[in-house]
């Protein structure tokens, strides 16, 4: 599928003959261009036919993707919330410890 497709050697145009130049150059007659090689036309792609079973499978797969992505996002949000609460608790405890430390002076 990924290998290059080379034309067969017989479809390449023949090289033009080399004519030696003389003192009086002869008028140059343009040569007729070589005919273009005929390339076989690939068949047109067929359209995708969705049957009720494939539509149901597609919907179920899409729903599963939505559920997985939603679960990942909710778990990340929950991790951030737990981290924020724990930092807030540590801040309150440190504030209380510093307040008690300042009262003892």
What is the per-residue pLDDT across 33-88, written as a single tens digit (0 to 9) for each?
777 777 776 666 777 788 889 999 999 999 999 999 999 999 999 999 999 999 99
Confidence of residue 15 (pLDDT cuts 50, 70, 90): confident
Which tokens sit at 95? 């504030």
Evaluate if residue 93 carries a pLDDT over 80. Answer: yes
d(CA 34, CA 12): 9
d(CA 81, CA 74): 10
pLDDT digits (tens, 9 = 90+) for 32-44: 777 777 777 666 6
Q: What angle is formed at CA 74 by the lines to CA 70 and CA 79, rounded to 5 degrees?
A: 150
pTM here is 0.44
Evaluate if residue 9 carries a pLDDT over 90. Answer: no
């Amino acid at each position: 599928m990924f290998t290059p497709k080379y034309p067969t050697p017989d479809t390449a145009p023949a090289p033009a003959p080399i004519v030696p130049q003389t003192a009086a150059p002869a008028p140059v007659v343009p040569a007729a261009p070589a005919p273009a090689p005929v390339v076989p036309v690939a068949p047109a792609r067929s359209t995708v036919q969705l049957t009720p079973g494939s539509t149901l499978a597609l919907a179920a797969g899409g729903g599963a993707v939505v559920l997985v992505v939603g679960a990942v996002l909710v778990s990340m949000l929950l991790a951030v919330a737990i981290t924020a609460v724990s930092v807030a608790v540590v801040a309150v405890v440190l504030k209380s410890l510093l307040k008690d430390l300042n009262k003892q002076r």
